[in-house]
Structure 1
């Protein structure tokens, strides 16, 4: 499928350098609501063990009740984090947001971050991303471990779940230090509204591209020109196909820095996005404002109307979930076949 066969997807980062109080979710709620007014697909919020900042997952969980349609995609690192806890936390965000959760997978690569936990040393990027791929695989299996109709909630009999529709995942993966880790399951949270929350991977670095091709629903690629983005998209789709995936189920977004100190720049941004879309550079764009408090308003009030007039951005959301926004089907549980249903 070509990148121009549908309107481009549009997402925005809410990261603010020297951010406000990291325990105050109010600025992020305000920004997410603004992005929702612009009918953007989703917002991202970064997180890292390397420096102080907001707990992205907690902040976007706080944002969820104050928004209705916008997708919410926090960064959660796979390094030094238990896969079971990570999966259930993202699963919970999908429930809190009624099907609008994503997870931007990332790794922790510095000795200082490793020292915070003291369990293992820092590892090379390639090993960290191989581990991240295994964690994403384990998470997907945990999200599938409850079939969609596993909950009975029968007060008369006192039965809450059908045990035959809960499944051990018995996953074995390899950590970044080469040691095996296991996840038995099942999850302690019912299957998410989306079936599986959307997995996002920044595939700009070569080390992350295999993980993106194998496990991501959305890959982000920082590119300075449309040719670079086009080449990256083609390579990711080709590798996804080699790994047995349908490449049309992978969305590749060009990740672009944005600074809009004047109204004319907002219209100029619309021209740039139009040109990149026409060149089939990407399936959409992940915009990284220099100052979200300033730039996001100018994006929504200046760039969005131009894109809408050109037929490159919807005026209303087509559905209620992040998968709906991205045109991704809701997957069946891979374990449903054990009870006589079709597996995906």
Structure 2
């Protein structure tokens, strides 16, 4: 296996949703399908990812029962609550719950993510999502489902409100002066005074500024509207690309759009979704995928980078895509978590370390440390 002489440092995340990315993963031997909602199982998965010093784990969520997947599996736990439970039971690794902005108030989102950041010591991020599904709207009962354009516009406004609320406490607002009975310096609490199309929020937050200042914003790009949202607001962008050239084009366009929006494009981390079936040889990996397909009766159409092969081959693909600037890293979506996650941590990661393309320890206590993102200034402190 040939390694680049000057490799770029990769970022790696893993999606811990359900039993794995393949619809039939929960039906396989050893998948622990009966423990899908068991908190100890989820903690074990995080520990495995942490053993590989991965940057982050993603927890999916929605208002519907697995809305975008052809699977017989039904049901999920609340992603933000799961992340809050995992926060004090983990170290180093980022926790990224998916929280929808449709049918949800930004004030609630703000304090939920801020709380996870406090409990974890600065390892929270927020994967922004939205819904245009009528059934989702009926579940909540607040009105009809929006169009895609309206849903993304609402999501963008929600991001603006949430991030403003995170800044509504300055970093040193808590003074805890027992002699004067002053717990906070009220001059360092700020009204956000947002009056927009979808939300009117006065503020300040009831939760102190998160340890990271601003927990990273994660956006999955799947449309022109989401592309714009990601370029203007995301710290981490998840893209789907079936080949290296497609990924390179998307990453370059995202960086250009971020620059056009007045942002530093170097602050954007573009991660490609990678669906993986890892085996000791290609034939074994293919046989396992064939078994999964037979169990569920559907072909596995991922729409993104798909690897069916060995750990060295996957490491080589990651290094190859990274070397040409097609990706800053990858969000790995294991076909079966109980099989592929261990191989990722113990088989793929050591090869990336050998190539000097991945860390062997966490860079610091926060997710921003792992991603190489600076602690952001408080917008209100700057004008005070």
TM-score (norm 2): 0.83
Partner of 1:127: 150
2:333 aligned with 1:288: yes
2:38 maps to which of 4, 13, 24: 24
Q: How does 1:146-161 map to 2 (within 5 A)?
A: 146-161=169-184
1:168-224 deviation digits (Å, cap 9, x = unpaired): 00112333xxxxx21111000001000010110001333311111111100000111
Which whole-Å CA distance do the structure 1 matches of 2:127 and 2:149 have between them?
Answer: 18
Bigger drift between 270-279 and 315-324 goes to 270-279
2:278 aligned with 1:278: no
Which whole-Å CA distance do the structure 2 matches of 1:174 and 1:22 have between them?
Answer: 39
Does the aligned pair in 2 maintain the 1:253–1:286 contact within 8 Å? yes
Partner of 2:208: 190
Equivalent residue of 1:40, what SS? coil
Partner of 2:168: 145
Does the aligned pair in 2 maintain the 1:131–1:173 contact within 8 Å? no
Which whole-Å CA distance do the structure 1 matches of 2:63 and 2:107 have between them?
Answer: 19
Change (3 A) 1:324 1:208: same
Q: How does 1:36-115 map to 2 (within 5 A)?
A: 36-51=50-65, 52-115=75-138
2:310 maps to which of 250, 265, 268: 265
2:303 aligned with 1:301: no
Equivalent residue of 1:286, what SS? strand
Q: How does 1:152-191 map to 2 (within 5 A)?
A: 152-175=175-198, 181-191=199-209
Bigger drift between 93-102 and 245-254 goes to 245-254
Partner of 1:336: 381
Bigger drift between 289-298 and 255-264 goes to 255-264
Poorly superposed stretches of 4+, deviation over 6 Å: none
Which whole-Å CA distance do the structure 1 matches of 2:270 and 2:197 have between them?
Answer: 27
Equivalent residue of 2:196, what SS? strand
Measured after TM superposition, the shift of residue 58 of structure 1 is: 0.8
Which whole-Å CA distance do the structure 2 matches of 1:247 and 1:228 have between them?
Answer: 19
Measured after TM superposition, the shift of residue 99 of structure 1 is: 0.2
Does the aligned pair in 1 maintain the 2:101–2:130 contact within 8 Å? yes
Partner of 2:253: 235
Partner of 1:249: 267
Equivalent residue of 1:323, what SS? helix
Partner of 2:47: 33
Task: Please tell me the root mean square deviation across aligned C-alpha atoms, in Å.
Answer: 1.5
Does the aligned pair in 2 maintain the 1:98–1:193 contact within 8 Å? yes
Which whole-Å CA distance do the structure 1 matches of 2:12 and 2:262 have between them?
Answer: 27
Change (3 A) 1:149 1:20: farther
| Rg larger in structure | 2
Partner of 1:178: none
Measured after TM superposition, the shift of residue 5 of structure 1 is: 7.2
Structure 2, unaligned runs of 5 or more: 1-5, 20-25, 27-32, 66-74, 282-308
1:312 maps to which of 357, 360, 363: 357
Does the aligned pair in 2 maintain the 1:198–1:217 contact within 8 Å? yes
Measured after TM superposition, the shift of residue 20 of structure 1 is: 5.1
Does the aligned pair in 2 maintain the 1:41–1:71 contact within 8 Å? yes
Does the aligned pair in 1 maintain the 2:7–2:323 contact within 8 Å? no
Which whole-Å CA distance do the structure 2 matches of 1:77 and 1:21 have between them?
Answer: 25
Does the aligned pair in 2 maintain the 1:33–1:66 contact within 8 Å? no
Which whole-Å CA distance do the structure 2 matches of 1:120 and 1:242 have between them?
Answer: 35
Which whole-Å CA distance do the structure 2 matches of 1:261 and 1:122 have between them?
Answer: 43
